[in-house]
Structure 1
Amino acid sequence: MYRKDWIAKWAAYTPEKIAVTECETGRSITYRRLNEQSKFLSNKLVQKGFIKGERLIVVAEHCLEYVALFSMAQKTGIIIVPVNYRLSASEIDYLIADCRPKQIIVERKFEHLAKGLKEGVDMVWMEDLASELTSVQMSAFESRDFDESHPLFILYTSGTTGRPKGAIYSHKMLLWNSLNTTQSLEIVPHDQTIVCTPAFHTGGWNVLLTPLLHRGASIGILKKFDPDVLLKAMEEKGTKLLFGVPTMLKMMADSKLFDTIDLSEIRYFIVGGEALPLSVIHTWHDKGVKIRQGYGLTEVGPNLTSLHQNQAEQKIGSIGLPNFYTELKLLAQNGEEVASNEIGEICLSGPLVTPGYWNNDKATKEAILQGWFHTGDLAKMDDDGYLYIVDRIKCMFISGGENVYPAEVERVLRQMPEIDEAAVIGVASEQWGEVGKAFVTVGNGAIFSSDSIIEYCTKHLAKFKVPKDVVLLDEMPKNDSGKIDRKKLNT
């Protein structure tokens, strides 16, 4: 039986190859040593009474020990629950009450959170664990057998009710996501990436880290995104591919190091989260770095579609074609598939879909209907089969009886050379029910004119889509994954 122990396999095949390196500290670990440490952790936790299915919460930045815990989970069936260290203690208390962990591992820099917890749970410091792992010797541990649908992670996402939902990420999802990713991105063992996304986000594990571990490649970890540090690290390590969100690519392009840094080893960047402005694509293309945009979400994949780097400009704004093992269709509200160039909700099926939400049957039944996961994302497909995100269902507003999709308006706004970022929301209107309100940031030295922006939109959009008000911001509010936080706009 396939026992899902990737690190043990590579420890046998390429034992002295560096698996993971911490960019800030320079610490690194080979596949052999990573396997030794994960076996030690497996024995330690089993001896403490952990059984398959027990939950282990981790409140820490990404590190070597976190990756060892991942390997331990593959061996034992213990479920890792990565928690956002930017939450308050009361918010973490809710997660503890929801998933009932047997233990919580906390990095000492987040001691203030640990002290604020009211829910009683056995706690271990990550630094103490790291100290133990430095001197472990090879120990025997027979990897456990468990069903492929068994949870590997519980990844908490924001809920529409105000309470987070724990998306179950299964071992089956991990395997099929890796197969999808390695095939579409042509990942090979000599590849190298740097992961900048936090471990409490699926991007910190499943966009590139776990697919590269599955291929026996090498990964760098950057605990906190810093454009200068990242650029230097990519040059030094000969990074082959990198995942980032548009904000990261823009910040790197604005860095003083950008013109002098050598990124000739890069095959391409993988970009997700939001559409990347054409100006940013041109900037990176001029440097010889190709851009590959895609789409995914915590509950499915997350690597679901991909736009080949050679079509980044030709199909600007597209999330590409469905990846090899992605089953996707666009459905209208009546449940029927829509025709080309018509808007429908992205629905997904197959081995990449979550089994559901932890301890939340209601949310599971609402999201998964007749075997299809309903994403809440609206998209259309052109005559060539390429997908374009239109908006989130909940972001759409109705103005004068017409549906307005903010993402469509935002794409037009981003075409203006003076605009860096744009976000549009619907606000109440006595006359029209709702109208658009745009928030923008502008480039250095650009002259902001609300009238000129509205005039530009009028030339490129139907009248009902044109924002009635434009607000200039010094900086867009962002959430922990680098996306624009719309909840904080107009508050």
Structure 2
Amino acid sequence: MEMVESTVTGEEGWLGGIRSIYSILHDAESHNTSFPIIIYHGKHVTYHSLLSMADSMAETLRKKFSVKKGDRIGIALPLSPQFMVTFFAAMKIGAVAVPMDHLLTTWEMENVIHFTGIKVLVAVYTADITVKQESGISGIILTRLQEFLPFEKAVSVTAGQIAKSVKLATTGVTTAWFSEMIFEPRGEEEQVDLEADPAVMFVFPSIDGDLRGITYSGSNLLNSIAGMRENLRIPKRRFRIASSTPVFSPSGFQLSVMLPAVLGGTVICAYERNDYERLARLCSLFDCDYVCGMPNDIYSMADENVPLQGSKSLKGALCPSYLMNDGIRSMFQEKFKVPVLEYYDVPEMTGITHMQPADRNQIRQGSVGRPLRGVTQKIVDEATGEDLEHGKVGLLLLGGNQITRGYFPAEGTEGNFSGNMLKTGDMARIDEDGYLYVTDYHREFLISRDVIVSPGEIEKFLSQVEGVSEAAVIGLDTGQGDQKIVAVVVPASGKDVSIDRLREACESRLSKEKVPAEFYLRDSMPKSISGRTLKRILIEEQTLKK
């Protein structure tokens, strides 16, 4: 698979002096010593404090867990000071950060650990972890998210915390507390190649439900940030962004971690990610420039009429275009008098590739905006591969300096690329000014509450339940920026399968966002001539039932 040569670019060489991802924090600290990099439920953590903790943790990872350049560190944490400390510590020693959903079940987490070869896992102490030494992991670091909360929100160590430590100690895996790892003296930074060395890996279930990883280099991340900064017209000053977007997704990670750090700004978040009231009050109190979230977050903020109006600098809400609709968009804009700036994101392109312009006079409804600097786009005929002219609908191909290092494992993915461009699978058109209009999303994913999930992953699990011959998972649009997950199951011949047993099986292994809201039994699946399940018919059937 041919990849595009990537060089770190930026407005007037703006990013030219960055030597590593860690150096972003190190250099920013010298100019922003007492300025907060993150405000966590109202508690300030300054650049100086975060840098000191990241330096100490990097040394502990080296000495206690023997982490070296290229090793993978799983970060099963929500957006929090601990997440940022761990990420920059990993970057200092040249390790690869693997952001993970902290609400994964034990079964799901073990699958990710085995697949990625994670050496050390950093997780919330309340996570249900029973990882054994045979998994290949050498250490687990536990943290209480309350450690960085304001005093009135924080709680002391509980019996459950002690029990979790004892439980982990019996597995033979070295364990430690996050609070014990931030007092080591500062060590040297590992030399990394921004172009060649992997910095971050995101893990996704593929269409067939198997896990697949996508790795980003430092230059991938920085090129994306350069494009976003230019599009959002962020001035060369401190800025603030309030976030409820999951950091285990590429776009959420870029908006919530990389963007504020690179620009010397501040990210603001609440202890409970869906605490929109608190997030809005913090956004107003600290006068945020932007608020970002999933479509359901944007809907909930408008529906609950949270107090965003107090932020005089608020320029808009950043949100992925998938499942955004006119109703949500209008409701938010009417209540808060700022636009919803939709973006288009593709994991293989380091997340966000297109974004609506910050200038509301240039926003074109129905569009996801123009490509960020360095991103190339074209529309081709799906059957012939020939280029199509402006205004014609066809297959969207993307390329440029955000294209990633490829898949892990790479086997079976060659068909996803055409030369040095990615076949997104989505159908779209481009107008004469370069604005992109996505007419049909062909990628297989659903949004449950505010988390992206793979129907293939759920289908694969259900197919392994005793008595099940076949399963199909679909999403029904709620109109509120998310989907209701519905599972359609065909029992094996002569087998009795109950809906209660299917639900119990899912709840025992899958995180709650992946558990179908409804189950239906069917004698057979509607099939195409090629034998593919026609989910369109299943969706129509379920829609008619409502």
Q: TM-score, structure 2 length as denominator?
A: 0.69
Match of 2:315 in 1: 267
Match of 1:183 in 2: 230
Structure-1 separation of matches of 2:282 and 2:482: 30
Percent of aligned pairs sharing the same letter? 17
Structure-2 separation of matches of 1:167 and 1:363: 14
Letter in 2 for 1:107: V
- Alignment pair present for 1:108 and 2:156: no
Deviation at 1:318, TM superposition (A): 0.8
Structure-2 separation of matches of 1:430 and 1:50: 50
Match of 1:201 in 2: 249
Structure 2 residue runs of 5 or longer lacking an equivalent are 1-16, 145-175, 446-475, 487-524
Deviation at 1:101, TM superposition (A): 1.8
Letter in 2 for 1:350: G
Match of 1:30 in 2: 46
- Alignment pair present for 1:218 and 2:234: no
1:99 aligned to 103, 108, 116, which one?
116
Structure-2 separation of matches of 1:28 and 1:221: 11
1:14 aligned to 10, 13, 32, which one?
32
CA separation of 1:422/1:248 partners in 2, compared to 1, >3 Å: closer, same or farther?
closer
- Alignment pair present for 1:335 and 2:385: yes
Identify which of structures 1 and 2 has the higher relative contact order when contacts are C-alpha pairs closer than 8 Å and 6+ apart.
2
- Deviations along 1:147-176, whole A, 9 cap, x unmatched? 523111110112012112111122111111
Structure-2 separation of matches of 1:120 and 1:468: 46
CA separation of 1:395/1:82 partners in 2, compared to 1, >3 Å: closer, same or farther?
closer
CA separation of 1:374/1:129 partners in 2, compared to 1, >3 Å: closer, same or farther?
farther
Structure-2 separation of matches of 1:153 and 1:184: 24
1:238 aligned to 263, 280, 287, which one?
287
Match of 2:370 in 1: 321
Structure-1 separation of matches of 2:362 and 2:223: 29
The number of residue pairs the alignment matches comes to 420
Mean CA deviation greater in 27-36 or 211-220: 27-36
Structure-1 separation of matches of 2:367 and 2:257: 24
Structure-1 separation of matches of 2:373 and 2:331: 30
- Asked if the contact 1:177/1:303 (under 8 Å) is kept, the reply is yes
1:65 aligned to 79, 82, 97, which one?
82
- Alignment pair present for 1:470 and 2:543: yes
- Asked if the contact 2:315/2:358 (under 8 Å) is kept, the reply is no
- Asked if the contact 1:59/1:84 (under 8 Å) is kept, the reply is yes
CA separation of 1:264/1:283 partners in 2, compared to 1, >3 Å: closer, same or farther?
farther
Deviation at 1:200, TM superposition (A): 1.7
Give SS of 2:288's match.
Answer: coil
Deviation at 1:310, TM superposition (A): 4.9
- Asked if the contact 2:286/2:311 (under 8 Å) is kept, the reply is no
- Alignment pair present for 1:76 and 2:93: yes
Give SS of 1:252's match.
Answer: helix
Letter in 1 for 2:24: W
- Asked if the contact 2:53/2:85 (under 8 Å) is kept, the reply is yes
Give SS of 2:292's match.
Answer: strand
Match of 1:255 in 2: 304
CA separation of 1:339/1:44 partners in 2, compared to 1, >3 Å: closer, same or farther?
same
Match of 2:8 in 1: none
CA separation of 1:147/1:270 partners in 2, compared to 1, >3 Å: closer, same or farther?
closer
- Asked if the contact 1:207/1:303 (under 8 Å) is kept, the reply is no
Match of 1:282 in 2: 330
Match of 2:398 in 1: 348
- Alignment pair present for 1:152 and 2:193: no
Structure-2 separation of matches of 1:423 and 1:88: 21
Deviation at 1:352, TM superposition (A): 0.6
Structure 1 residue runs of 5 or longer lacking an equivalent are 397-412, 440-466, 474-491
Pairing 1:429-440 to 2, within 5 Å after superposition: none
Structure-2 separation of matches of 1:377 and 1:62: 30
- Alignment pair present for 1:131 and 2:131: no
What value does the CA root-mean-square deviation take over the aligned residues? 3.3
Letter in 2 for 1:34: L
